[in-house]
Amino acid sequence: MKIALAQLNYTIADFEGNASRITEAIGKAKDNGADLVVFSELAICGYPPDDLLDYPHFIEQCEASLNRICSHAAGIAVIVGCPVGNRSEKGRKLYNAAFVLENGRISQVVHKTLLPTYDVFDEARYFEQNDVFDLVSLNGKKIALTICEDLWDSMDSFNYKSDPLEFLINQSPDLIINISASPFNKNKKDDRYKVLRHDAATFKMPLVYVNQVGAHNDLIFDGHSLVLNNDGTVAMEMPSFAESIAVYDTELNYPGNELREDDDTELLHRALVFGLSDYFRKMGFKKAVIGSSGGIDSAVVQALASEALGADNVTAVLMPSQFSSKGSVDDARKLSETLGNPYHVIPIEGIFHAFAESLKPLFRDLPFNVAEENIQARSRAVLLMAISNKFGDILLNTSNKSEMSVGYTTLYGDMCGSLSVMGDVYKTDVFRLAAYINRKGVIIPEEIIRKAPSAELRPDQKDSDSLPEYHILDAILELYIEGRMSPAGIVKKGFEKQTVEKTIQMVNRNEYKRYQAPPILRVTSKAFGRGRIIPLVSKW
């Protein structure tokens, strides 16, 4: 049997667009002689639809799109994901389902068994768990059809009570097909392969895995669909961050390969550019505006946005204060000229003095402190938002994960923006991204990369005045946030106790700021936002 893997980019609730993509792919699969074409989890409505699933007319539109697609299942079988109602009076109102379409009709429906409720997932909020296990028969092949998480029981950390694949394996299938919506993080590729390889090798049968591609709000889906041989080696590997259709023939012998290795920084760069581009495309945005400080964070975001959107569509705004060094302003100009971005210089010294004069009766002779520093950051945010409102340019936030973790950011200041491009990227990775961007020639001036990081909100300010050196800070943060390790456990790793305790105190104390942050492109296993939900008020 020839199986086409359709790795497509869907838009949530774009029923017309999604159905057109699917039917077009069915036509291409037919042209390539496929007997079966497989699409990803909840492809008809896009994943994750979240609380749209609570609207009856949303489900009605899903059903209408499914019927439209069903009419194209002539001369080829189709497997496609779609929510479906639960006819029982008990349990959730919906199932997360895979539909098998043949000869213009629905021949079988398979429901998802394991409903993830961790990290960014909350499927048990909407869906009922499957308890019926039957194989799908197509073209003389018996298929164990599963949906995403149904294969992940082999991960010890999840400890599911049941393994749906075992129920299906007992019925002696010929191959496994898994339709998925598995979001990207920089370590997910290896974890995913470990699961798929385990299942293929354990049950000694080929495994076809079809994942969606695309950015949905904060989540980035990389695609990277796979076919594994019955020994767990790779028979077919599809690209990351791109739509693609490939045909696998069950009657052919495919040489067993290892998974393609990617450079970590290159993968991170591709994910961020893709996430930015897809966010703008799906939201109907064209142009972005960025506050360009002459620092490395804004420089990397400016370079990423220029690649994602086109240099002409990214406007840089330089807003020097009395504390900005001439070098920072010159470096910011140089960056815009190298990238080919339009840019404007709007000094804020006068604005700052106007605020200071207005507050003078209240502040009297109190010393300069964080209040005056934040006035500068908020003055810049007001200017950037004014430009965004006037011209329709979307403000991109340039804060990194290290700063957001410890609250080294200003609410309604440098935290403003419609999208946080690097809010899930630690500062040490920002430097690696800068080096990668400069791999073929200098784009980000070396002066920006070499200079000591500084907010430049007071004379001779350096980040290291308030924070540990970034290589130490980031290591502690990663152990605490991604690793969920205790302070004592981190100290045992060799870090100084006072530094660890101060860092974790800053993380916990600044949760209120992250509650008000813009959506963050997720590239790690524990991004701020829906992936890390911490009580705002607690004694933790």
The closest alpha carbon to 522, from 401, 436, 347, belongs to: 401
| Upstream peptide bond of 48 is cis (omega within 30 degrees of 0) | yes
Question: Is the pLDDT assigned to residue 532 strictly greater than 70?
Answer: yes
Asked if residues 344 and 315 have their Cβ atoms less than 8 Å apart, the reply is yes
For the chain, the first-to-last Cα distance in angstroms comes to 56
DSSP per residue over 7-36, as a string?
A: E-B--TT-HHHHHHHHHHHHHHHHHTT-SE
**pTM exceeds 0.85, yes or no:** yes
More confident residue, 365 or 457: 365
What confidence tier does 157 reach under pLDDT thresholds 50, 70, 90? low
* Residue 336 exposure: Cα atoms within 13 Å on the Cβ side: 25
Question: Is the pLDDT assigned to residue 110 strictly greater than 70?
Answer: yes
Over residues 324-365, the pLDDT tens digits come to 888 889 999 999 999 999 999 999 999 999 999 999 999 998
How is residue 87 written in tokens?
């006819």
Over residues 407-419, the pLDDT tens digits come to 999 999 999 999 9
Q: Which residues, in sequence order, are bridge partners of residue 246?
A: 5
2, 45, 70, 112: the active-site residue: 112
Cβ neighbourhood burial of 90 (10 Å; 0-12, 13-18, 19+)? exposed
**Average pLDDT in the 130-154 region?**
93
Asked if residues 83 and 123 have their Cβ atoms less than 8 Å apart, the reply is no
DSSP-based three-state secondary structure for 475: helix
How is residue 37 written in tokens?
């074409």
DSSP 452: P
Q: Which residues, in sequence order, are bridge partners of residue 145?
A: 177
Cα(121)–Cα(34) distance, integer angstroms: 33
Q: What is the reported pLDDT for 324?
A: 84
DSSP-based three-state secondary structure for 97: strand
Q: What is the reported pLDDT for 539?
A: 82
Q: Which residues, in sequence order, are bridge partners of residue 531?
A: none
Asked if residues 210 and 240 have their Cβ atoms less than 8 Å apart, the reply is no
123, 148, 401, 403: the active-site residue: 148
Dihedral, CA of residue 230, residue 235, residue 238 and residue 244, to nearest 10: -90
Question: Phi and psi (nearest 5°) for 456?
Answer: 50, 55
What confidence tier does 153 reach under pLDDT thresholds 50, 70, 90? confident
Q: What is the 3-state secondary structure (H, E, C) of 377-405?
A: HHHHHHHHHHHHHHHCCEEEECCCHHHHH
Strand runs labelled E in 47-140: 77-85, 94-102, 105-111, 136-138
Catalytic residue flag (residue 194): no
Cα(115)–Cα(148) distance, integer angstroms: 9
Q: What is the reported pLDDT for 538?
A: 84
**Average pLDDT in the 176-182 region?**
98
Q: What is the reported pLDDT for 156?
A: 59
**Average pLDDT in the 237-253 region?**
97
Region of poorest pLDDT, from 60-69, 207-216, 226-235, 448-457: 448-457
41, 149, 373, 478: the active-site residue: 41
Domains of the chain with CATH codes: 2-253 (3.60.110.10), 267-463 (3.40.50.620)
Q: What angle do CA 254, 259, 261 make, to 5 degrees?
A: 140
Share of the chain above pLDDT 90, in %: 89
Cα(383)–Cα(267) distance, integer angstroms: 34
The closest alpha carbon to 22, from 84, 83, 66, belongs to: 66
Cα(333)–Cα(322) distance, integer angstroms: 17
Cβ neighbourhood burial of 456 (10 Å; 0-12, 13-18, 19+)? buried
Dihedral, CA of residue 334, residue 339, residue 340 and residue 344, to nearest 10: -50
Region of poorest pLDDT, from 9-13, 17-21, 160-164, 509-513: 160-164
Cα(215)–Cα(221) distance, integer angstroms: 6
Catalytic residue flag (residue 112): yes
Catalytic residue flag (residue 30): no
What confidence tier does 228 reach under pLDDT thresholds 50, 70, 90? very high
Cα(101)–Cα(80) distance, integer angstroms: 8
What confidence tier does 202 reach under pLDDT thresholds 50, 70, 90? very high
**DSSP strand pairing (77-85 vs 94-102):** antiparallel
Cα(222)–Cα(245) distance, integer angstroms: 14
